[in-house]
């Protein structure tokens, strides 16, 4: 998503990163990754649960999709960081696109770390929301 920051800005998309990891881990991640967007720490996972992002099964978390996603990152010269000690690696994540009137235009609950919508899918959902808003 960071590689498409200029398009995100042009489409007036406001990105908010949500994590359940405590503040120190979240701060370190922001510093390490150079995230340009605000980050919200949801240690209680209320937002995760509200959008149906529960816990994944072992085969989802460590299955072929994850291996493939990590292999693509390695091929780009990026080494995924190891999870912090004690972090729940089974917590599912996802992507939610909410329009200015509060309507959820896209909800993608990942089945594991390798299951994310493409940036093109997110941008298309935003463009569609712009026509119907």
Phi, psi of 54 (to 5 degrees): -100, -140
pLDDT tens profile 23-64: 888 888 888 888 888 999 999 999 999 999 999 888 877 778
Q: How many domains does the chain have?
A: 1
Q: Strand 17-19 vs strand 39-41: parallel, antiparallel, or unpaired?
A: parallel
Q: Strand 94-98 vs strand 104-109: parallel, antiparallel, or unpaired?
A: antiparallel
pLDDT given for residue 92 in this prediction:
92
d(C-alpha 73, C-alpha 114), whole Å: 11
**Residue 44 domain boundaries:** 2-132
Map tokens 């935003």 to a residue: 126
d(C-alpha 95, C-alpha 7), whole Å: 17
pLDDT tens profile 96-119: 999 888 889 899 999 887 788 988
CATH number at residue 63: 3.40.30
d(C-alpha 42, C-alpha 71), whole Å: 29
């Amino acid at each position: 998503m960071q590689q498409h920051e200029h398009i995100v800005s042009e489409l007036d998309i406001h990105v908010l990163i949500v994590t359940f990891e405590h503040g120190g881990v979240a701060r370190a991640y922001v510093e390490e990754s150079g995230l340009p967007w605000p980050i919200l720490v949801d240690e209680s996972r209320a937002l995760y649960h509200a959008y149906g992002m529960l816990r994944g099964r072992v085969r989802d978390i460590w299955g072929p999709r994850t291996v493939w996603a990590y292999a693509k990152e390695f091929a780009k010269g990026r080494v995924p960081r190891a999870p912090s000690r004690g972090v729940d690696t089974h917590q599912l994540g996802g992507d939610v696109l909410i329009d200015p009137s509060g309507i959820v235009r896209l909800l993608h609950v990942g089945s594991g770390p390798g299951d994310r919508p493409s940036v093109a899918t997110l941008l298309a959902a935003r463009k569609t929301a712009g026509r119907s808003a």
